[in-house]
Amino acid sequence: MTTTATSNAEETIDYLRQVIAAGEHWYIALLKAMSRWSQAEEEIDGRTYRYLIGGEAFDYLLLCERFIDEIGDIVGTKDRDALLFHGHPPLEIADEEFQDLIGTPKYQAYLNYLYGVVVEESLQLAVEEEVAKEHHGHVWSSGRSEAETAFERLYGKPQAELLLEFFKERHLLPETDQLQYTDVKELTYWLFKYRVRSHEGARVASDTRKGLAALSRVELAFRRRIIPEATPAETADEDSTRYANVN
């Protein structure tokens, strides 16, 4: 990191610790600290932390992980895993308060990440599941993988061709460069933007609803596991309201 970036990181983490020491809940303190964070990317112990995907999509959970690593045992393992692996914070706060805490620019970039990475991944999975069901209903196999068929159905081109286009835009060499985990997020966001500009509005809206529905099913399964007394109707209503509110 540059001297300026290092200074911002140190000052923000100091602020985070001060706010927690003053009695603020650690999650609220994390969100307040986010509003002060200015690094789009940093490298720590050989690991790249890219908080801004495609220059416009904010990976909020990655920054949560970065902060939690700095405050040690304050965050219990259960709360940490629920937040970082399932996106479930320890406190329920309204979207308006969340936006106020992290700041409007980061909130808008967070929505870009939600739709461009999280929902896009869910959409890919949903279409792949559709293809799998179709394959099970046919005696003869097409010889193509479900992922390959799903990609062509979603984006109108073979998976290999899309990957070559992505490499070309990023000035990477397919023969020598390998995609890291952060690069996969970049690819997902790139595919989202490719889909939006390649299809007409009604198709894009329909696919987005499909991705949201798939994400809600995952959310429902998680909630039913941690809140067994909740009925499917109750948890489904909560999920549909939650994702409707981010628009």
Q: In the listed set 102, 136, 162, which residue is the last one of a domain according to the structure?
A: 102
- Please state, as a whole number, how many other Cβ atoms lie within 10 Å of the Cβ of residue 64: 21
Contact 16, 30 (CB under 8 A): yes
**In degrees rounded to 5, what are phi and psi of residue 41?**
-160, 150
How far apart are alpha carbons 58 and 41 in whole angstroms? 11
228 and 115 in a single domain? The answer is yes
26 and 135 in a single domain? The answer is no
- What local confidence, expressed as pLDDT, does residue 236 receive? 43
12 and 28 in a single domain? The answer is yes
- Cα-based angle 38, 181, 165 (whole degrees, multiple of 5): 95
How far apart are alpha carbons 165 and 131 in whole angstroms? 24
- What local confidence, expressed as pLDDT, does residue 229 receive? 52
Nearest CA-CA partner of 106 in 39, 46, 173: 39
Q: Mean per-residue pLDDT for 214-225? A: 77
62 and 26 in a single domain? The answer is yes
Domain assignment of residue 66, given as a range: 3-102
Contact 79, 90 (CB under 8 A): yes
Provide the token pair at 135: 């394959």
pLDDT bucket at 202, cuts 50 / 70 / 90: very high
Tell me the pLDDT tens digit for each residue of 81-126: 999 998 899 999 999 999 999 999 999 999 999 999 999 999 999 9
- Cα-based angle 6, 7, 9 (whole degrees, multiple of 5): 65
- What local confidence, expressed as pLDDT, does residue 220 receive? 77
Which of 92-101, 169-178, 206-215, 220-229 is least confident? 220-229
pLDDT bucket at 3, cuts 50 / 70 / 90: low
- DSSP annotation of 139 reads S
Q: What is the CA radius of gyration of the chain?
A: 20
Give how many domains the chain has, as a whole number. 2
| Ramachandran region, residue 2 (left: φ > 0; alpha: ψ -120 to 50; beta: rest) | beta
pLDDT bucket at 241, cuts 50 / 70 / 90: very low
61 and 15 in a single domain? The answer is yes
- What local confidence, expressed as pLDDT, does residue 170 receive? 82
89 and 30 in a single domain? The answer is yes
pLDDT bucket at 242, cuts 50 / 70 / 90: very low
202 and 114 in a single domain? The answer is yes
113 and 97 in a single domain? The answer is no
41 and 116 in a single domain? The answer is no
**In degrees rounded to 5, what are phi and psi of residue 49?**
-105, 105
112 and 95 in a single domain? The answer is no
The pTM assigned to this predicted structure is 0.83
Tell me the pLDDT tens digit for each residue of 147-199: 888 999 999 999 889 999 998 888 776 655 567 777 899 999 999 999 999 99
Tell me the pLDDT tens digit for each residue of 47-89: 999 999 999 999 999 999 999 999 988 999 999 999 999 889 9
Q: In the listed set 102, 136, 160, which residue is the last one of a domain according to the structure?
A: 102
- What local confidence, expressed as pLDDT, does residue 137 receive? 59
How far apart are alpha carbons 113 and 40 in whole angstroms? 14
113 and 158 in a single domain? The answer is yes
Q: How many CA atoms lie within 13 A of 79 on its CB side?
A: 14
pLDDT bucket at 144, cuts 50 / 70 / 90: low
The one-letter amino acid code at 51 reads Y
122 and 195 in a single domain? The answer is yes
The one-letter amino acid code at 193 reads K
Kind and range of the H or E run holding 61: helix 60-71
Q: In the listed set 55, 72, 102, which residue is the last one of a domain according to the structure?
A: 102
